[in-house]
Amino acid sequence: MIAPDMATMLAFVFTDAAVTAPVLQDLLREAVGSSFNCLTVDSDMSTSDTLLLFATGEARNAPIETTTSAAARAFAAALATVCRELAILVARDGEGATKLVTVEVEGAVSDASARRIALSIANSPLVKTAIHGQDANWGRVAMAVGKAGEPVELAALGIAFGGHAVARDGGAVPDLDEAPIARHLAGREVTITVRVGHGPGRARVWTCDLSHAYIDINGSYRS
């Protein structure tokens, strides 16, 4: 590879199903939108990220020739699951990662807006170091929501770690019991859920924490 340090990703997915090439292309684009394109380790893009989907036809089914048939939808659902699992594996295996972090945003004005907010949180070095330090620092999450520049209803802002709310309706949760949150943050999988309003938009992205090993891997050698 030309630049293996850039987390160059080559993904190959095979199915025995008989599916025509245009349908495969459409369904793959659909699956990527909620999997590989919702993945970030450090916001930096690889020069050669590749995802290829092959249909061998070995299953000898009646070929899937549209994206809307029942068979196509069942195939699309399975494909989305596979892509999501692969994307999560990439985040879990991010340079220096000690924790898989799932960021969920809901109540945004659109799915695209929710995704931009979720990526702003997932790419924030201050959020990623806080998670590494097992710190329920929701001020940093709120900061990352703000810097995304998307429409947000401040009075509706809510933030939870592992399902435990730390902020609700725009303010801190009173008399917060931190014990279950600390237990969640001590684990290998952390979920940050953020409500930014009452809109229909939602997104889920995956990332990892930012540790010393990220710097060792990316800074302690000469290319």
Compute the Cα dihedral for 113, 114, 119, 125 and give only its sign.
positive
Taking CB under 8 A as the rule, does residue 115 contact its own copies? no
Taking CB under 8 A as the rule, does residue 223 contact its own copies? yes
Q: Which stretch binds its own copies (CB under 8 A): 10-18, 79-87, 122-130, 160-168?
A: 122-130
Taking CB under 8 A as the rule, does residue 6 contact its own copies? yes
Report in angstroms how near the CB of residue 171 gets to its own copies at its nearest. 14
CB 74 within 8 A of CB 36: no
Of the two residues 77 and 172, which places its CB atom closer to its own copies in the complex? 172
Report in angstroms how near the CB of residue 96 gets to its own copies at its nearest. 9
Token reading at 172: 């801190």
**8 counts as catalytic:** yes
CB 208 within 8 A of CB 192: no
Report in angstroms how near the CB of residue 131 gets to its own copies at its nearest. 8
CA nearest 135: which of 88, 188, 179, 185?
Answer: 185
CB 120 within 8 A of CB 211: no
Query: What character string, x for contact with its own copies (CB under 8 A) and - otherwise, covers 66-105?
Result: ----------------------------------------
- 128 to 167, contacts with its own copies by CB under 8 A? 129-130, 132-137, 139-140, 143-144, 146-147
**If binding means CB under 8 A, how many residues of this protein chain bind its own copies?**
40
Q: Which stretch binds its own copies (CB under 8 A): 65-73, 105-113, 160-168, 205-213?
A: 205-213
Three-state secondary-structure class, residue 202: strand
Q: How far apart are CA 67 and CA 65, in angstroms?
A: 7
Catalytic residue among 8, 20, 98, 129: 8
Largest distance between two CA atoms of the chain: 61
- Residue for token pair 């097992």: 134
Q: Please, how many CA atoms are within 13 Å of residue 53, restricted to the half-sphere of its CB?
A: 24
- Active-site annotation, residues: 8
